[in-house]
Amino acid sequence: MDRKLEVLTVTKRAMDRFDNLLSSQGNGSKGFRIGVKQMGCSDMSYTMDFLGEIKSDDIIIESNDIMIVVDLSAKKYIEGTELDWLEKKLESKFVFNNPNVVGQCGCGESFKIKEK
């Protein structure tokens, strides 16, 4: 089975938002890097940035000329997650719908996954 499909699914809304962000950057970047870092009161927090270099062990998801790279070290925290783009009247943001989350801090910035 393709390991990238096990890790992260990106919705059309999220891909459209990624496309808009890349268009606004010019030719500087071809994609995005997604990872996690230890932060907050629950345990981990998602990270997203424009793509710089690609490491040999990165998990690469490509769609419509957009490259999403997931750090291999983030795989166990992100596995099975759907990444979506949410727009409300006063809020717009990327949303990680992670079925493995068992706890989250009050502000929603950090999360804890169930141990496997």
Where along the chain do its domains lie? Answer: 3-113
Residue 35: phi and psi, rounded to 5, are -155, -165
When comparing pLDDT for 27 and 62, which is higher?
Answer: 62
Beta strands (DSSP E) in 12-100 are: 31-39, 43-50, 59-63, 66-70, 81-87, 92-97
Q: Which residues contact 88 (CB under 8 A, 6 or more apart)?
A: none
Considering the domain delimited by 3-113, tell me its CATH architecture. Answer: Sandwich (2.60)
List the one residue out of 47, 50, 17 whose CA is nearest residue 32. Answer: 50
Query: What would you report as the CA-atom Rg of the chain, rounded to the nearest whole angstrom?
Result: 14
pLDDT by residue (tens digit) across 15-43?
999 999 998 887 777 899 999 998 766 58
Q: 84-98, pLDDT tens digit by residue?
A: 999 999 999 999 999
